[in-house]
């Protein structure tokens, strides 16, 4: 039924309505498929089991990618070296060691750097926690022992790069997660080296 202005008030697609793409459980766009009603429960069970398997293995622990924005080159904040017993730095200028630009401190190569937000706790012993934002640089050549962003069989994951007699391996920093040995026939690539991290406390 249309109102006097001819706008459809009932039915049809409405601008801005519905769930935003990528806002669902899996953080990505979805598609509609037809399955027999009798199999709906089995499909849901399969997806649930797959998610639990990925969590146990620590794979797919990258939540989102964030591009490097324009560097705030004129932003330089004071770096204090005060040893006041109460733990609060003095505002006096003689306690300022230097002025620190956060962009310069975290980013070495503007053109090859981006950020990822991580999920899960497979790297907690390396000081990487859920929702941390990691600084990824694609310029350095990854070495054994580096924490890297890798893509394994189409899934992005953050792990320590290792090596066995059979080839590369991805090592979690949590004893509850298994080491992932890269097997022949798997799709594997190191996308970049983790060079820093950012975390908000409030």
Domain of residue 188: give its range: 58-68+109-202
Among 20, 53, 119, 122, which one carries the catalytic annotation?
Answer: 122
What is the chain's pLDDT, residue by residue, as a tens digit (202 residues)? 455 555 555 555 555 555 555 445 555 667 788 878 887 787 777 777 666 655 555 566 776 776 766 655 556 666 555 555 555 555 555 556 667 777 778 888 888 888 899 988 999 999 999 999 999 999 999 999 999 999 998 889 999 999 999 899 999 999 988 999 999 899 999 999 999 998 988 8
Both 101 and 75 in one domain: the answer is: yes
Domain CATH for 127? 2.10.109.10
Both 188 and 177 in one domain: the answer is: yes
Query: How many structural domains comprise the chain?
Result: 2
Among 20, 98, 119, 159, which one carries the catalytic annotation?
Answer: 159
Residue 79 lies in a domain: yes
| Prediction pTM value | 0.61
38 included as an active-site residue: no
Residue 190 lies in a domain: yes
122 included as an active-site residue: yes
Both 114 and 81 in one domain: the answer is: no
Both 152 and 176 in one domain: the answer is: yes
Residue 13 lies in a domain: no
Both 77 and 136 in one domain: the answer is: no
Could you give the CA distance from residue 55 to residue 85 in angstroms, rounded to a whole number?
Answer: 44
Both 190 and 121 in one domain: the answer is: yes
Residue 7 lies in a domain: no
């Amino acid at each position: 039924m249309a109102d006097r202005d001819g706008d459809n008030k009932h039915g049809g697609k409405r601008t801005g309505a519905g769930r935003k793409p990528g806002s669902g459980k899996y953080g990505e766009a979805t598609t509609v498929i037809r399955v027999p009603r009798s199999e709906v429960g089995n499909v849901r069970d399969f997806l649930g089991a797959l998610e639990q398997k990925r969590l146990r293995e620590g794979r797919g622990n990258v939540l989102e990618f964030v591009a490097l924005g324009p560097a705030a080159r004129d932003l330089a904040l004071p770096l204090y070296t005060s040893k006041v017993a109460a733990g609060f730095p003095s505002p006096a200028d003689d306690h300022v060691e230097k002025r620190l630009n956060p962009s310069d401190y975290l980013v070495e190569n503007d053109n090859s750097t981006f950020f990822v937000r991580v999920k899960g706790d497979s790297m907690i012993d390396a000081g990487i926690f859920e929702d941390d934002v990691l600084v990824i640089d694609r310029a350095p050549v990854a070495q054994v022992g580096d924490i890297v962003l890798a893509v394994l069989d189409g899934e992005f994951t953050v792990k320590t790069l290792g090596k066995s007699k059979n080839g590369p391996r991805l090592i979690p920093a949590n004893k509850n997660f298994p080491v992932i040995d890269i097997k022949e026939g798997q799709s594997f690539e190191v996308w970049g080296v983790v060079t820093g991290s950012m975390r908000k406390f409030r």
